[in-house]
Structure 1
């Protein structure tokens, strides 16, 4: 079957440009030991490489593989993050952008620059990290005639100190902090008075200044932070390590003591006498694009690339010289390409008919409102009922417009598997089911990358080589199966292979070796298999450009959870592995059951509810560890009082003759103790994470008809909370009946 992959290229381009922007911005603010930032840069590069490989853009994939490998060494601590290394990565981002822009514009790009940077990447990778550090040190010695062997063991720190206005009112004095810093090494201080108000508006008890400090000494970040620990809640403190290029003990011709004395003046005097230091060329190029880095120091300074060696915020690539036009063009083209959707004519016709019905209903209600009388109440009620029906149908029709067959996501994999067969030498048969199962466009776009990771993982880790399969009595051709189907109000996507399965012991031992688990607590198979989603976890013996770097699986889980979904792993040795993803059909609407607990209203997703019932005393079983089980036919269901979980007052605190809503997720059941069952209705989901922060047991919020806010319960999260509570009680000697442990595990 011939598949046209070109329809997916605009999405790849948009995501790639976003990834490049993230890489560039993060590189500009990259610090030694900043693991979260380096991981984010690495994931962006890995996603670009994976997408490029899918669509056959070999030049992008091969070049990005070099970048990714260098980043991999940095994030694992095998290579020190140096200024020269960051500069090389920034130039690499420029080259990646040139390659992707050439794809977007269907043109060729200059290969000499790309080849040159690729050679530099290869040279860097061929050097051992220790050798690289030694070469960097030698280069510094040549560039800086003032540097001597006395610099051994010294570290250069850049400190940005922005106190809150009321700092001195709490008895703290910045001058004393700077004086304490001088005990750690040689200190250089710059004062920034850009926020000083006019003279008549100055309050003598307020601090309006910011300070940029350079400290050179045999010290570490923890010692610096100890000096500022008394004011850490009353300031912005940014500490970064910088390359040690020179040592000096003067500031504007003064020694450290003179500097301290000079700072001990009032705010107005400091502002009047503060001098903006000129950044050296190395500092400027560290936050500039590849083009700017090639300019001489005077040219860079004339471009006003920076005003201070330390930037209070990461520098946006859109603000950098020689790059603005390129970035704006990229952004506009990417967004334009991604702003369309194919809609069937029948769906459009349905919308038009519904709009017509709404117009008729609106006209009728307007006429009733002109000269309203009590005799028209019945007609008004009928009109409102019709309006409600039309609105509901319109909502469903609009949602259907956003629904696309999952074949849009599945169609990219035949080419991917075909290419992987060539790289691995394996023989693989890709089988797909449920291609016409529809999914919301937003969900479809965000699930693409996790699916790519899982398919690549199945091919590289799951399927054995042909000779190994034959020795096990299997067919030499391995199978990767993609299946999608609706289940209630959600969609289930399964990625299965008939390979070697997951070695439980290998995963357990690797997790213990990495310190992810202590190895003393017993874990179920499901809990062990869930460890493969830990960041940086991998049991691959060799690293390839397909997988095995310990990246991807953690991204898979994060992306799925961000969509309100969950992922499960089932595996049997020499039989195969299945990754099962449950996703909501849409991110906007939820069918929910409203329940009341005390004065609070909560929403339980309708698809998770098994049944609601009035408890009976004879079915209640109290066990040690403060656990209550309710016998529901053949199951012992743990009872979770919502009022205890969220620390609120409730009308009903006794489980006897109470209302119990039995819910199920991931094959596990719990009973939620509530005060009252209210209505069932569709609600519009509002993200709690975007507007506040993620709360365990809560998946989002909604606004009810009366204007009040109701929380949407995250049933898998609540089950997880119940499991943690049970394990905690068990670990503290509150052993409960074996049946209860079995239910939650």
Structure 2
């Protein structure tokens, strides 16, 4: 029972996601006509499963929620902005009830009273959506008595349907049952059921949780195919279903045909041999297996150890002096290829779309905007972008701080927006994309932008910067990340304690990422987060610098250069550029930037790596030697280690040596701050 209960809550997460998708489709006007049915099915399925586990409050709330949804589904209630807002709040509340039940917490039932009252008010007095309040016709209830009425028997057309139904194990885990489905079908007309038991194994081979039965059904009814299919809407995706319409006949014809001796009903043939006539299984349907995340993490760790051992084996065989064309070396190459394929497959298992994270942010926007009495909507893009599961989990907290900050500080009050020629409703954009081997998440708003004068003055008042400091716009923007900094005049539920943006930067750095700010006064602010795709394995270039072995992400290395007198030009002490493909690139000595040695006077005959970062900035990094290109397993540095600029993590090489993994963008930022390079090279002016 514990396993079934756990499976139910996993199913609830999927249903809540579908519920949010449907509500979002209604809100944005992208509804294709099926959204309300998706919403209703999600709430109904949660209610059914909750009843099986005795979760009474979840059942009560879901039932009264779906009552209002049913009124909308039947066009008895129009979807207005206020009603849609109520549906969103009810979905959020239902999510809280599910979470409390999953964690065995006592949910404060009284908190549901206000929402239930609002839902009941709409259910008690529904307003019709697309029809007059008082219909000018008398509704006709269809029943089986109509089929037996002598006056209508000869005039009633019957539709015949052959139905092939095979449930999946998940159907029973959601508290659905086959007899109830068939009972609902029987209410539509004359139903004949034939069960196929050919796949049932012997008792010693029987798996208790497997499903071996399938059914072939024949239904004669006066309703159309859509209504027949609606019987199965609550088990959509939990079964294999095919509904095949047959010839339309009258009740009288059906009676004559069944009574005529020597003739059999053609439609009954499939029922006698369902295994022969049932349609083949659709091999294109995907089957999903739910696996405990701890098992996936163990598999990832084992693959990491496999990569390390493969590197050790490769280095040992090379040290032994074996011929590159020997059978052993050929086998090693095949082993390397298989190791990479396994690693890629495991990373795909860990990768998840950011959709679930973005949906959580929708709730944050609703609650934060209500708290400060602002009208703000969230616009998302790139929800299908896949990121390592660990990254998604640890990104929720910093994103929450940023969204709340955008609502509270970024978006102006409605009257101020209207005065400035903007719509009264503010907008926050949340985007995700892949770029240069990393995932980029942008949080932007169309508010008033950063008031840099106020930020600078606040920093001086709090003695976070000296009174005579001369800071650029970018430096002032970065003051927002200082511990204890806040421009809020008073402490509120959203801000004022000076811990938000500092927490954001700390969390992003812990993930091996970076965060940057850009803002235009009166136009808005953009926070851009750059994160690694995975926290497990990366393709790296192993280099030697001043006797140290280092690893650079291969995704940022575009080419290598040999420096000569013709392509290197000095601009001043410690500042040089290299000519490459008609452009000048800043030249950095990696050893001096990391503090391994003093700045070199000459770079002639040295090796340089041309790096292209995600912001399209290119630089040339001088190294002593390139060892190899290989996969390396990322080993995060413990919090007890000092976070040195430019160092992202560490790894274990094939010879057992520990090597540091570098963060190229952080190296450039650190070199820029130390005066090694400037943010923009005006080479032509410097030469003049």
Q: Measured at CA, do residues 497 and 53 of structure 1 come closer, stay the same or move farther in structure 2, by a change above 3 Å?
A: farther
- 1 CA distance for matches of 2:467 and 2:637? 35
Q: Say yes or no: does 1:685 pair with 2:634.
A: yes
Q: What is the alpha-carbon distance in structure 2 between the residues aligned to residue 645 and residue 521 of structure 1? A: 25
1:674-693 residue CA offsets vs partner (Å, 9 max, x unmatched): 12223222211122345743
1:181 paired residue number = none
2:537 equivalent in structure 1: 589
Equivalent of 1:398 in 346, 362, 376: 346
Q: Please tell me whether the aligned partners of residues 453 and 552 of structure 1 are also in contact (alpha carbons under 8 angstroms).
A: yes
Deviation, 1:421, is 3.0
Deviation at 1:706, TM superposition (A): 2.0
Task: Report the 3-state secondary structure (helix = DSSP H, G, I; strand = E; otherwise coil) of the residue aligned with 1:3.
Answer: helix
Distance in 2, matches of 1:412 and 1:742, equals 50
Deviation per CA, 1:583-632, whole angstroms, max 9, x where unpaired? 00111112211222243221111233343212232443323443223344
Contact 2:589–2:599 (8 Å) recurs in 1: no
- The superposition leaves residues 251-288 of structure 1 with CA deviations (integer Å, 9 ceiling, x where unpaired) of xxxxxxxxxxxxxxxxxxxxxxxxxxxxxxxxxxxxxx
1:324-403 mapped onto 2 (5 Å cutoff): 340=293, 378-403=326-351
Alpha-carbon distance in 1 for matches of 2:596, 2:323: 47
Match of 1:564 in 2: 512
Determine which of 530, 538, 548 is the counterpart of 1:600.
548
Q: In terms of Rg, which structure is larger?
A: 2
Partner residue, 2:576: 628
Q: TM-score, normalised by structure 1?
A: 0.48
Q: How does 1:120-269 map to 2 (within 5 A)?
A: none
The whole-number CA distance in structure 2 between the counterparts of 1:535 and 1:338 is 40
- Match for residue 104 of structure 1? 103
Q: 1:529: which partner in 2? A: 477
Does residue 1:482 correspond to 2:435, yes or no? no
SS in 1 for 2:103: helix
Residue 458 of structure 2 aligns to a residue whose secondary structure is helix
Equivalent in the alignment of 2:457: 509
Distance 1:477 1:531, change over 3 A: same
The change in CA–CA distance for 1:716 and 1:488 in structure 2 (over 3 A counts) is closer
CA 1:54–1:542: 2 relative to 1, 3 Å: farther
Query: Does the Cα contact within 8 Å between 1:504 and 1:525 map onto a contact in 2?
Result: yes
Q: CA deviation at 1:536?
A: 1.4
Give me the whole-angstrom Cα distance separating, in 1, the residues matched to 2:332 and 2:340.
12
Taking structure 2 as the reference length, the TM-score comes to: 0.52
For 1:245, the equivalent position in structure 2 comes to none
User: How much has 1:422 moved relative to structure 2?
Assistant: 2.3
Report the CA distance shift for 1:483/1:589 in structure 2 as closer, same or farther (over 3 A).
Answer: same
Give the structure 2 partner of residue 725 of structure 1: 674
CA distance in 1 between counterparts of 2:611 and 2:356 reads: 33
SS state at 1:511 partner = helix
- C-alpha deviation, 1:636, in angstroms: 4.5
Structure 2 residue runs without a partner (length 5+): 1-17, 24-41, 44-88, 111-289, 311-321
C-alpha RMSD of matched pairs (Å):
4.4
- 1:385 and 1:563 map into 2 onto residues whose CA distance is 33
Instruction: Please give the alpha-carbon distance, in whole angstroms, between the structure 2 residues aligned to 1:396 and 1:384.
Output: 18
State the distance in 2 between where 1:670 and 1:451 align: 31
| 3-state SS of paired residue (1:2) | helix
Which stretch shifts more, 665-674 or 439-448? 665-674
From 442, 445, 448, the counterpart of 2:393: 445
Find the aligned partners of 1:499 and 1:618 in 2 and give their Cα distance. Answer: 50
Please tell me whether the aligned partners of residues 634 and 651 of structure 2 are also in contact (alpha carbons under 8 angstroms). Answer: yes
Q: Tell me: CA distance 1:742–1:491, structure 2 relative to 1, closer, same or farther (3 Å).
A: farther
The answer on whether the counterparts of 2:543 and 2:627 sit within 8 Å (CA) in structure 1 is yes
**2:408·2:495 contact (CA, 8 Å) conserved in 1?**
yes
After TM superposition, the structure 1 = structure 2 runs for residues 411-426 of structure 1, keeping only pairs within 5 Å, are 411-426=359-374
Q: Are 1:625 and 1:726, in contact at CA under 8 Å, matched by a contact in 2?
A: no
**Bigger mean CA offset, 643-652 vs 506-515:** 643-652
CA distance in 1, matches of 2:609, 2:528: 26
Q: 2: distance between equivalents of 1:738 and 1:527?
A: 19
Alignment match, 1:23: none
1:435 aligns with 2:383: yes
Q: Which residue of 2 aligns with 1:657?
A: 605
For 1:485 and 1:696, locate their aligned partners in 2 and report how far apart those are by CA, in whole Å: 26
Q: Is the 8 A contact 2:450 2:521 kept in 1?
A: yes
By how many angstroms is 1:695 displaced?
2.2
Query: Post-superposition shift, 1:490?
Result: 0.7
Contact 2:432 2:439 in 1 (8 A): yes
Provide the aligned length of Structure 1 versus Structure 2: 406
Structure 2 contact 411–447 (Cα < 8 Å) conserved:
yes
Matches within 5 A, 1:270-289: none
SS of match in other structure, 2:477 = helix
CA–CA distance in 2 between the matches of 1:695 and 1:414?
Answer: 36
1:377, CA displacement in angstroms?
8.2
Structure 1: which 5+ residue stretches go unaligned?
8-51, 61-99, 112-336, 363-373, 731-735
